[in-house]
């Protein structure tokens, strides 16, 4: 994972430099400190999917190009067999699998997300990113925090929300939870 982090850091630095934008300017646009952004680019700190998504949108590149180094090539359809999506471990709290990593010009980013169980008193790991998000619970039970509200979702439940507000998920009942996340 450390090598993957270094490769992603190198890609975002190259994109930023090609566009002629300073670290400070990009950090400001992302709403993070220049120090945090510098640690991202140095490969010293994990980068959340939400930040990577913002960077991809900012520079009009596919998220999968930042994650894998390859530009998506498929235009008609992209198939992801069970367990064969590209693993994206960008937040220690969740495990992501990109389900359309090789489809060019996506209008949405679909992920299969697994949330491992935590102690009930563990605080929510919050994030936010531009756009909207749809989550559909496949298994387990999720406690979702969205803009100050806590909502419990069970298998088969779904939620659609403004992903620009703080949000986070926790698995309940001492079991992992899995959900389909579609980021628009």
Give ∠ CA 60-66-67 in degrees, rounded to 5. Answer: 140
pLDDT, one tens digit per residue, over 33-80 is 999 999 999 988 888 777 888 898 899 888 878 877 777 676 787 777
Q: Considering only CA atoms, which of 138, 133, 144 is closest in space to residue 114?
A: 138
Give the residue extent of every domain in the chain: 2-68, 86-183
Q: Is 150 helix (H, G, I), strand (E, B) or coil?
A: strand
Q: What is the CATH number of domain 86-183?
A: 2.60.120.10
What is the per-residue pLDDT for 155?
A: 96
Q: What is the pTM for the complete model shown? A: 0.69
For domain 2-68, the CATH superfamily is: lambda repressor-like DNA-binding domains (1.10.260.40)
């Amino acid at each position: 994972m450390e090598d993957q982090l270094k490769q992603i850091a190198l890609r975002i630095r190259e994109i930023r430099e090609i566009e002629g934008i300073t670290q400070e300017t990009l950090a400001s646009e992302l709403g993070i400190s220049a120090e945090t952004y510098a640690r991202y680019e140095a490969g010293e700190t994990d980068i959340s999917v939400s930040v990577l998504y913002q960077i991809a949108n900012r520079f009009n590149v596919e998220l999968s190009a930042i994650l894998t180094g390859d530009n998506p090539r498929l235009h008609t359809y992209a198939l992801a067999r069970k367990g064969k999506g590209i693993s994206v471990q960008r937040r220690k709290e969740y495990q992501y699998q990109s389900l359309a990593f090789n489809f060019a010009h996506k209008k949405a980013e679909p992920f299969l997300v697994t949330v491992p169980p935590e102690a009930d008193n563990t605080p929510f790991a919050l994030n936010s990113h531009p756009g909207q998000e749809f989550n559909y619970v496949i298994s387990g039970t999720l406690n979702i925090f969205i803009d100050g509200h806590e909502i419990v979702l069970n298998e088969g439940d779904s939620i659609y929300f403004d992903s620009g507000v703080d949000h986070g998920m926790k698995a309940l009942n001492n079991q992992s939870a899995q959900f389909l996340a579609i980021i628009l």
